Amino acid sequence: MAEKNLLEQLREMTVVVADTGDIQAIQKFKPRDATTNPSLITAAAQMPEYQGIVDETLKQAKQDAGPDATSQDIVSLAFDRLAVAFGLKILEIVPKRVSTEVDARLSYDTEATIEKGRSLIAQYEAAGISRERILIKIASTWEGIKAAEVLEKEGIHCNLTLLFGIHQAIACAEAGVTLISPFVGRILDWYKKETGKEYSGAEDPGVQSVTQIYNYYKKFGYTTEVMGASFRNIGEIIELAGCDLLTISPALLGELQATQGELVRKLDPSKAAAMAIEKIPMDKATFDKMHAEDRMASEKLDEGIKGFTKALETLETLLAERLARLESDETFSHATENIFHMYDLDGDGFITREEWLGTDAVFDALDANKDGKITPEEMGAGLGAVLMAKVA
């Protein structure tokens, strides 16, 4: 019998989730769940095979918005519908759930987040999809966590993202959130920049953070699931084998699939139950105090919200350009150039990971030569085309 590769072994102890909006990548790796966000949808929306979905969504949004609607009105309406349209396509492939993200610009607005979550669920249910198969993805601000608490009581399940600190994790668990997505790679990025050190294995700060959260949850019997996200290498994934879920980019899924060797389970609920861990009561005052004291968590949360906002604005720019083309039959050859300049904040002709701020999987896919920078030529190859090349 052939030895199982690392991906096969990982699936025996952890639910594998595809961190991509690319339907072909999902078909290839066959994850149980999938998660999307604006930067992933931006990439997928530029692939020729998905243009029909984009165009049909824009046309329907224009019709429904009415004759007096502005281009921005139509694009705003189309955005949510496009996220749901890709979610519906993904649900035809994955057996369980898809995460659909709330507009990052609502991250500090509890009521608006609640209304957006209800709206997204209504669209899925109108298409005949049970809310049990949908996770509403919300940033882990105090306001976002409180919104999730309300939605969960209504039977709308939530995935709390941009989570970097134990205080965020505890608040989510006590709010009854279904799932959290702590960001492993972004934590590592911060510590490497702060200290100038290289980290690997169990010493990786991102690995340590997720391990701490996992053990805390299992120690005190919380049902909230832990889904590690934003990985820089398969070493981080190996160290978190046994975590409830891990959401992994197509590139790293491929690397795991191509790697042989024994995968040892590192996270185990029975071991966590025996640990001496102090329980921390959580309220807003405690949350705010811990958040202010955790510079990494506060900086990365703020950066992440700005990044997802930038990704959303980029997608809206693309949709506006495409709407103009549909209305006039003109091409929009400058779209990629415009997007590049939106991200190249310092105007040096390169986009760094810090400038990109959006989804790591898309940055890694665009960075064809793996030098940590995206050039105009790499962007010119097309976000979607490059992502497809990575998973073909």
In a domain, 155, yes or no: yes
In this prediction, residue 189 carries a pLDDT of 94
In this prediction, residue 72 carries a pLDDT of 82
Q: Are residues 177 and 148 in contact, defined by beta-carbon separation less than 8 angstroms? A: yes
In a domain, 15, yes or no: yes
pLDDT in tens, 150-160: 999 999 999 99
Q: At what angle do helices 284-293 and 166-174 cross, to 10 degrees?
A: 160
Q: Are residues 167 and 213 in contact, defined by beta-carbon separation less than 8 angstroms? A: no
In a domain, 380, yes or no: no
Q: Are residues 184 and 231 in contact, defined by beta-carbon separation less than 8 angstroms? A: yes
In this prediction, residue 191 carries a pLDDT of 96
Cα distance between residue 27 and residue 8, in whole Å: 16
Domain span at residue 271 reads: 6-306
In a domain, 158, yes or no: yes
Q: 230 Cβ partners below 8 Å, 6+ apart?
A: 183, 184, 185, 186, 206, 360
In a domain, 216, yes or no: yes
In a domain, 316, yes or no: no
Tokens found for residue 279: 């329980």
In a domain, 359, yes or no: no
Q: Are residues 269 and 222 in contact, defined by beta-carbon separation less than 8 angstroms? A: no
pTM of the model: 0.81
137 is catalytic: yes
Provide the 3-class DSSP secondary structure of residue 120: helix
Give the CATH number for residue 237: 3.20.20.70
Q: At what angle do helices 110-126 and 142-153 cross, to 10 degrees?
A: 40
In this prediction, residue 21 carries a pLDDT of 61
Among 30, 96, 116, 137, the one annotated catalytic: 137
What burial class does residue 319 get, using C-beta atoms within 10 Å of its C-beta: 0-12 exposed, 13-18 middle, 19+ buried? buried
Query: Tokens 């497809």 correspond to what residue?
Result: 388
In this prediction, residue 67 carries a pLDDT of 86
In a domain, 375, yes or no: no
In this prediction, residue 358 carries a pLDDT of 56
In this prediction, residue 389 carries a pLDDT of 31
Domain total of the chain = 1
pLDDT in tens, 240-259: 999 999 988 888 999 999 99
Spans of the chain below 70 pLDDT: 1-2, 21-22, 37, 39-40, 43-46, 329-347, 354-362, 365, 379-392
